Chain A
Amino acid sequence: GAGVSQSPRYKVAKRGQDVALRCDPISGHVSLFWYQQALGQGPEFLTYFQNEAQLDKSGLPSDRFFAERPEGSVSTLKIQRTQQEDSAVYLCASSSAVNNEQFFGPGTRLTVL
């Protein structure tokens, strides 16, 4: 069956450019999470959606980061005016309900030059 998919898999951006990263969760999964994994580190929480509601955005590092899930399915993480420190792998995960196992996508590797 289809798992969590993310696109693009790789993105190279020049410093100052805006980027948009897409996540397609498993069909029917109400919970959706975004994580950031810097090189050599464990993933760190960015934000959480339950259906279309963004219930927790405490992990977003700055106001340049914005996430949405307007119809409660696909989600987009947008980073404005990218900086070199934004270079990381961005992981999306979904689960069928809160406190259920999270299933991870393959990630988008963002490199900011």
Chain B
Amino acid sequence: AQSVTQLDSHVSVSEGTPVLLRCNYSSSYSPSLFWYVQHPNKGLQLLLKYTSAATLVKGINGFEAEFKKSETSFHLTKPSAHMSDAAEYFCVVSDRASGTYKYIFGTGTRLKVLA
């Protein structure tokens, strides 16, 4: 079965400092992995996706993630946090085994940015 584990339910950083949101995956196939952001009362927005091309994936708003097969990780990073980054972040794996490619979400990491 495919799954993702987000290692931190809450992360707090100061504005201007680096962000690290951790995600580990489990998959018997070469996975398709995504990071989505959800601002309060807003829909899910795709930040970036990995689909077996380059292992370092660049996304929107300065976010990037590195796929590490040896560590089964797909951590999300940003060099400098901005107040507008405060939101809920979800790591997602696409369930190829089901044939429907439905998304399997992690439990989420709430990012707080301190002024």
**A residues engaging B (CB < 8 A)?**
4, 31, 33, 35, 40-45, 48, 55-56, 59, 91, 93, 98-99, 101-102, 104-107
Contacts and interface: CB of A to CB of B under 8 A. Distances in A.
Nearest to A109: B41
Given A45-B102, A48-B102, A56-B98, A101 B107 contact: no
A99 B34 CA distance: 12
- Chain B interface mostly: strand
Nearest to A100: B101
A102 B100 contact: no
Interface in B87-103: 90, 94-96, 98-103
B104 interface: yes
Interface residues of B, number: 24
Interface of B: 32, 34, 36, 42-46, 49, 90, 94-96, 98-108
B101 A98 contact: yes
A45 B101 CA distance: 11
Contacts, number: 55
B98 A42 contact: no
A101 B103 contact: no
A101 B49 contact: yes
A99 B43 contact: no
Contact of B43 (A31, A42, A55, A104): A104
Given A41-B107, A42-B107, A101-B49, A107 B101 contact: no
A105 B104 CA distance: 17
A55 B103 contact: no
Contacts of B42: 106
B102 A56 contact: yes
Q: Which 5 pairs show the lowest CB-CB distances between chains A and B? A: A42-B105, A104-B44, A106-B43, A48-B100, A45-B102
B44 A33 contact: no
B101 A91 contact: no
